Amino acid sequence: MKKEEITILGAGLIGTLMSIYLRKQGLPVKIYDKRPDMRKSKRYEGGRSINMALSHRGWKSLEEVGLKDRVIPLAIPMYGRRIHDEHGGTSLIPYGKEGQAIYSISRGKFNQLLVEEAENLGVEMLFDHKCEEVDFRDQTIHFSGPEGNFKKEAPVIIGADGAYSSLRMSMQKQIRFNYRQEYISHGYKELTIPATADGEFAMDPNALHIWPRGKFMLIALPNPDKSFTCTLFLPFEGTKVCFDKINDAGDLKSVFKAFFPDAYELMPDLTEEYFKNPTSALINVECYPWVQGHSLLIGDASHAMVPFYGQGMNCGFEDCRVLNGLINKYGHNSWDLVFEKFQKTRKPDTDAICQLAMENFVEMRDTVADPKFLIRKKIETKLNELYPKDWVPLYSMVTFSDMSYSEAYAQGQLQDSIMRQVMADPLITENWNRLDYEEIINKMETAKAV
Ligand SMILES: NC(=O)C1=CN([C@@H]2O[C@H](COP(=O)(O)OP(=O)(O)OC[C@H]3O[C@@H](n4cnc5c(N)ncnc54)[C@H](OP(=O)(O)O)[C@@H]3O)[C@@H](O)[C@H]2O)C=CC1
Ligand SMILES: Nc1ccccc1C(=O)C[C@H](N)C(=O)O
């Protein structure tokens, strides 16, 4: 039987990785993207990029398509969060066990690598082509491109066209399509800590730096050129420190001097960058179903999450691996079945990670600065050492395993309820090392059985 051509919308990280998976199955694939070819234009240099943190789920997909070794040189390991206090002091909180790290990677070069690999495998790439609308009655796509507007038949469509997906917008016009979007109260601004005059990193390169300040925070992730991409997360308005109240170089300087004094010293271009770079918004999108006829949403198009768990890309890469597994299992001509199974199995997991991503914002900007957070980390690390099968910290389940996100979420809730009881002891700071760890595990097992 002739193999149907698959049309992918979006040449971002997810669309390109999906195309690589499909080509490896011998399927014909075309990708359309509304932007110019990133190899010829400076696509992501808009001052609105947040470095991503590649972790186990992402690496697993890259390994499966044989790309892990080519991505390693683009990525820098970060073994923990380096917390900066208001006086310039720092401390490191490890992410997991010794040697476990998340990897800082910037979007531009990584995306280029995936585009090149896709093209080498025979994927046809059509840049400057915008999907205007999908008509599900006859599976056609309306494009605008350099050759003008045209309509094209597309027997199988995968929408990887991001948080503002055009495929999803067409689905929204169908009946019984559920959609929810939420802009959070905070926005973000990209800033830079450049390499030092002698070409070195200005801070510890193997950590994700956080300046947690309660309602707001600054973070910095390392780049291979020895600079750091920093992201300032502030409320848009309504608080003492917010984007609305920083109107000139003086306002900016007083905020940075008061709250980020050590970072301030390392940012010679702060004023210029701050007023040049846009302030961007952060959106969470949930929708369902993801399927209409032979069209399917994946990646941010189906579940755009806030960036705080560093899982958006990892989750999207896992989407590709799961979808590829289903195609392998049910064959190239069972799209109804494959798409249905995909959305049913995947939706609870993406709901869980969207929720966790929201919650991790509070942890990063606020909780990490509480000395009790460190004690709790120590207790959970010890529980994991003593009972590695029974107690794995939530962060590790999400970041260093491929246990389903929904299972990790449920187990995390359970562990959280036990830890709240443990932490309620007013003498916990002194007593944490003398706790009855077996009793904690038993409590958790009992709660699980209920
Ligand atoms: N670090 C960052 O700043 C960002 C990181 N990401 C990461 O990437 C992950 C995966 O993103 P992914 O799902 O690939 O989505 P992306 O937004 O990265 O990629 C989607 C691509 O589709 C293009 N597109 C949008 N609308 C259309 C259209 N109508 N027709 C054709 N092309 C279109 C987008 O262009 P355009 O961009 O112009 O809309 C973009 O190139 C995210 O979860 C996140 O982790 C994503 C975005 C920003
Ligand atoms: N890449 C990011 C971009 C923006 C905000 C957070 C991240 C993270 O990766 C956070 C990390 N997982 C953490 O929990 O410390």
The CATH number of the domain holding residue 119 is 3.50.50.60
Listed in sequence order, the DSSP H helices in 277-435 are: 300-303, 312-330, 335-365, 371-386, 394-399, 405-423, 428-431
Q: Establish if 89 belongs to a structural domain.
A: no
Domain extent, residue 409, equals: 370-449
- Biggest distance spanned by C-alpha atoms of the chain: 73
Q: Compute how many other C-beta atoms are within 10 angstroms of the C-beta atom of residue 297.
A: 28
Averaged pLDDT score across all residues of the chain: 96
Q: Which protein residue has the closest C-alpha to ligand 2 atom 8?
A: 310
Q: Please give the distance, rounded to the nearest whole angstrom, from the Cα atom of residue 164 to the centre of ligand 1.
A: 8
Cβ atoms 305, 181 nearer than 8 A: no
Ligand minimally distant from the alpha carbon of residue 108: 1
Which of 208, 280, 314 has the most ligand 2 atoms within 8 A of CB, as the residue to mutate? Answer: 208
Residues 64 and 154 in one domain: yes
Q: Which of 231, 266, 281 is the last residue of a domain?
A: 281
Q: Is the pLDDT of residue 42 over 80?
A: no
Residue 45's pLDDT band (cuts 50, 70, 90): low
Residues 114 and 34 in one domain: yes
Q: Compute how many other C-beta atoms are within 10 angstroms of the C-beta atom of residue 442.
A: 12
Cβ atoms 274, 189 nearer than 8 A: yes
Per-residue pLDDT at 345: 97
Per-residue pLDDT at 48: 81
Residues 204 and 264 in one domain: yes
Which of 102, 107, 229, 234 has the most ligand 2 atoms within 8 A of CB, as the residue to mutate? Answer: 102
Residues 331 and 382 in one domain: no
Q: Establish if 176 belongs to a structural domain.
A: yes
Q: Is 394 in the pocket of ligand 2 (CB under 6 A)?
A: no
Which of 33, 133, 169 has the most ligand 1 atoms within 8 A of CB, as the residue to mutate? Answer: 33
Q: Which protein residue has the closest C-alpha to ligand 2 atom 14?
A: 309
**What is the C-alpha separation between 290 and 374, in angstroms, rounded?**
40
Residues 14 and 121 in one domain: yes
Q: How far is CA 382 from CA 372, 378, 435, 438, in A?
A: 15, 6, 10, 11
Q: What is the pLDDT of residues 89-109, one digit of tens each?
A: 999 999 999 999 999 999 999
Average pLDDT for residues 60-88, to the nearest whole number?
Answer: 97
Q: Is the pLDDT of residue 182 over 60?
A: yes
Q: Establish if 327 belongs to a structural domain.
A: yes
Residues 112 and 244 in one domain: no
Strands 29-32 and 6-9, sheet pairing:
parallel
The residues lining ligand 1, judged by C-beta closer than 6 Å to any ligand atom, are 9-15, 32-35, 49-50, 52, 107, 130-131, 160-162, 164, 166, 299-301, 312-313, 316
Residues 214 and 324 in one domain: no
**What ipTM describes this predicted complex?**
0.96
Residues 213 and 273 in one domain: yes
Average pLDDT for residues 169-181, to the nearest whole number?
Answer: 96
What single-letter DSSP state applies at residue 195? P
Residues 34 and 125 in one domain: yes
**What is the C-alpha separation between 67 and 424, in angstroms, rounded?**
47
Q: Which of 253, 281, 309 is the last residue of a domain?
A: 281
> Encoding tokens for residue 56?
């186990």
Question: Which stretch of 34-48, 123-137, 201-215, 337-351 has the lowest confidence by average pLDDT?
Answer: 34-48
Q: Is the pLDDT of residue 1 over 70?
A: no
Of 105, 130, 117, whose CA–CA distance to 51 is shortest? 105
Cβ atoms 51, 221 nearer than 8 A: yes
* Closest atom, ligand 2, to C-alpha of 395: 14
Residues 250 and 148 in one domain: no
Residues 402 and 349 in one domain: no
Residue 3's pLDDT band (cuts 50, 70, 90): confident
Q: Establish if 88 belongs to a structural domain.
A: no
Q: Which of 281, 296, 314 is the last residue of a domain?
A: 281
Average pLDDT for residues 221-234, to the nearest whole number?
Answer: 98
Residues 68 and 165 in one domain: yes
Q: What is the CA radius of gyration of the chain?
A: 23
Q: Establish if 95 belongs to a structural domain.
A: no
Q: What is the pLDDT of residues 361-395, one digit of tens each?
A: 999 999 999 999 999 999 999 999 999 999 999 99
Q: Is the pLDDT of residue 114 over 70?
A: yes
Number of domains in the chain: 3
Per-residue pLDDT at 43: 61
Instruction: Please return the burial class of 248, using the count of CB atoms within 10 Å of its CB with bins 0-12, 13-18 and 19+.
Output: exposed
Q: Establish if 92 belongs to a structural domain.
A: no
Q: Is 310 in the pocket of ligand 2 (CB under 6 A)?
A: yes
Q: Which protein residue has the closest C-alpha to ligand 2 atom 6?
A: 308
